[in-house]
Homo-oligomer: A and B are copies of this chain.
Amino acid sequence: MDLLSALSLGELALSFSRVPLFPVFDLSYFIVSLIYLKYEPGSVELSRRHPIASWLCAMLHCFGSYILADLLLGEPIIDYFSNNSSVLLASAVWYLIFFCPLDLFYKCVCFLPVKLIFVAMKEVVRVRKIAVGIHHAHHHYHHGWFVMIATGWVKGSGVALMSNVEQLFRGVWKPEANEILHMSFPTKASLYGAVLFTLQQTRWLPISKASLIFIFTMFMVSCKVFLTATHSHGSPFDVLEGYICPVLFGAASGGDHHHDNHGGHGGGHGGAHGGSPSALHSPLPSKSKEELSEGSRKKKAKKAD
């Protein structure tokens, strides 16, 4: 911290918080988001057979956070699409990722060192979005703590929180797996970040917004780059949650983290409700067994393929 103060952290953070995001950082955000879209099973066939559906999904991946935040705050959900240059940039990235000859663009941006740079820049955008979202919500609801946290959360999580809708556009439906049940690291971090920024905005956290942006960005960048480099789906919050959740919410929470490790990005599988000891608490005959058996049936069907 001495070193940081010697570098005059305040000024550094201030200038960092004023770096314009468009176009370079936004471009990275779009590239990483659409790489994740291309990871989804069936998305390449979709782009060949139904280019319009694929483009709409791409727009949800790039601008989902704006759509959700506008929906929450009662603004036109299509509002952000009036930024033609952003939409055109995202469309260009979509086209290059899915239709570039020889898959050249995709191979370049997926080359790990390049991808790590983009991932880092995406986190810069994410943190800035959270801060802007909470500032915006604070403008409407001065004492609306929950409104601020919710707005910051959806601004940070983006399409993840509407993954069921996005899947439906692609003709996929996995009700048993949604981001709220199986939170990935960015979603959880966005939630915790939204809480921090809300505390800052309401002056309960004695720190300037620029500094908080700087510190939280550093945290997100280092975590996400590390997780991407190691192909890990874990989360640095697991240890902390492993201590807090059993105290607050009873013992079964540990099992959730275990399953999160399998679930991955928007993934998850039907077995997540399987016969844990907590099922004994249920006051009614539970459906989890049926769900489990259906889950394992699906898994078998997959293996049979």
Contacts and interface: CB of A to CB of B under 8 A. Distances in A.
A76 B140 contact: yes
A16 interface: no
Interface in A23-46: 38-42, 44-45
Residues of A contacting B: mostly: helix
Contacts of A164: 168
A51 interface: yes
A38 to B, nearest CB: 7
Interface stretch (A1-9, A207-215, A225-233, A272-280): A272-280
Nearest to A45: B278
A190 interface: no
B50 A256 contact: yes
Interface in A127-176: 140-141, 143-147, 150-151, 164, 167-173, 175-176
Interface stretch (A115-123, A216-224, A286-294): A286-294
A169 B179 CA distance: 9
B249 A45 contact: no
8 contacts: A41-B282, A42-B273, A49-B276, A51-B248, A53-B181, A78-B147, A84-B146, A285-B305
